[in-house]
Amino acid sequence: MREPGLFAPLCLLLAMPGWAAPAMKAGAAKIDITPDGSIWMSGYAARNKPSEGALMPLWAKALALEDGRGGRAVIVTTDLIGLPMELTDVVAARAMEKYKLGREGLVFNSSHTHTGPVVRGNLSVMESQQQPHREALAAYRERLQQNLLDVIGAALADLAPAELAFEYGEARFGVNRRQFTPKGVVIGVNPDGPTDPRVPVVRVTSPAGRVRAILFGYACHNTTLTAEFYQLSGDYAGYAQAEIEKEFPGAVALFVQLCGGDQNPNPRSRLEYAEQHGRTLAAEVARVARGRMQPAGGRVRAAYQLAALPFAPHTRAQFEQEQKDANVFRQRRAALMLKLYEERREPRLLRYPVQAVRVDPGFTLIALGGEAVVDYALWAYKAWPQERLIVAGYSNDVACYIPSARVLQEGGYEAADSMIYYGQPGPFTEEVEARIQDAVRQVMKRVGR
């Protein structure tokens, strides 16, 4: 039973003329992370030489949010194939020490461009084994680590009163790529497969109405530019960000890759298609940002945890046999696994990051690690039908594809073959979906939903 008058001071304060809750603050920053000179590129095993110039700069960008009650979050986006946990953990630890930023409030997302540099620790089986190339990659990773810390600090230094708004748009150039054939599932075009056309848009404006930042997302691989392209770029997401920043001078446009593990742009394989998809996405984001959007703000809450995803059983003998395979990437995966067996560190579980950042009222960002397939986003929309969600993959660690139970049963690249290039022992068990869903429920509960 409440004592009379226990909450009277707060009630009187709320009733005082001119009193308002602490204002939301936001800050945005960007830093050029384009490699200096030629570098080995990631995304396609067919490449046999390093990059040849750049079509556009690659960026790391950050959006910082602060609610005036101690709640803070920073969303970092990168025009890269993916970031490994061993890198994001180091940057997060430094950010905690330097900026007093909790791990739960720091999100790292990658656009998954296939015309970006190798980031050591991600798709390592695919990278060049030649020493000069490896030295360049090591130097790039060291620079990138500092760049990420710097852009977080710059966004926090830019914090100022702001108004946030949220709304969805829609784009349709992403298609399900899991094509069913008599020989099994191949990467192609499946017009009947599940997709996520939503384009979530967060608009950040000054109290005077100037657009300071726009965060937007889409669930589709950045693979318009295929293996024959050797110029660095952000693919369609890079073009979209550049167009939005032209449309809103002075604003920072941040792209978040959603659960697009089984989605490809269509059409693809020509530069004009990357430009076309970028313009299409940018035009939809601008339309939403210039229209009526629902206000967001008030309180920032965040939660982060690791789930344990079990790999299917495997043996030393399996990789001893694989080491004799004619495929060089299978040989490399086998050598990596045998080394881990020798050290008695053979992988049985994957440590998997699951995160939620809620701006209440407004929207909730669910950030999943790895190349999560679209099933996870579609499940989240059904599980929280009243919530305005941004369901991202490629966040905090991109260790491999994250298939659903359905995709594992069907087989194909996302379920099994991709694990070779990621240096993982093999497919997951079908428990993976339930474990991820349980972890999402837990972080959603902790942020208030």
Angle between helices 431-446 and 375-383 (to 10 degrees): 40
User: What is the dihedral angle through the alpha carbons of 438, 366, 256, 22, rounded to the nearest 10 degrees?
Assistant: -160
Judge whether 154 and 31 are in contact, CB under 8 Å: yes
Average pLDDT over residues 140-163: 98
Split at pLDDT 50, 70, 90, the class of 315 is: very high
Report the pLDDT value the prediction gives residue 449, as an integer from 0 to 100. Answer: 66
Domain boundaries, the chain: 25-304+351-423, 312-342
CA 7 to chain CA mean position, Å:
43
> What does the DSSP 8-state code read for residue 142?
H
How far CA 338 is from CA of 40, 138, 314, 342, 416, in Å, comes to: 26, 24, 11, 6, 19
Phi, psi of 148, deg, nearest 5:
-65, -40
Please, which residues have CB within 8 angstroms of residue 27's CB and are 6 or more apart in sequence? Answer: 63, 64, 154, 155, 156, 157, 158, 159, 160
Report the pLDDT value the prediction gives residue 2, as an integer from 0 to 100. Answer: 36
Average pLDDT over residues 62-82: 97
Judge whether 179 and 186 are in contact, CB under 8 Å: yes
Split at pLDDT 50, 70, 90, the class of 129 is: confident
Split at pLDDT 50, 70, 90, the class of 22 is: low
Average pLDDT over residues 117-132: 89
Residue range 234-284, pLDDT digits in tens: 999 999 999 999 999 999 999 999 999 999 999 999 999 999 999 999 999
Residue range 357-387, pLDDT digits in tens: 999 999 999 999 999 999 999 999 999 999 9
Q: Which pTM does this prediction carry?
A: 0.94
Phi, psi of 4, deg, nearest 5:
-55, 130
Average pLDDT over residues 73-96: 98
Return d(Cα 87, Cα 82) in angstroms, integer: 11
Split at pLDDT 50, 70, 90, the class of 117 is: very high
Please, which residues have CB within 8 angstroms of residue 282's CB and are 6 or more apart in sequence? Answer: 239, 240, 241, 243, 244, 247
Report the pLDDT value the prediction gives residue 250, as an integer from 0 to 100. Answer: 97
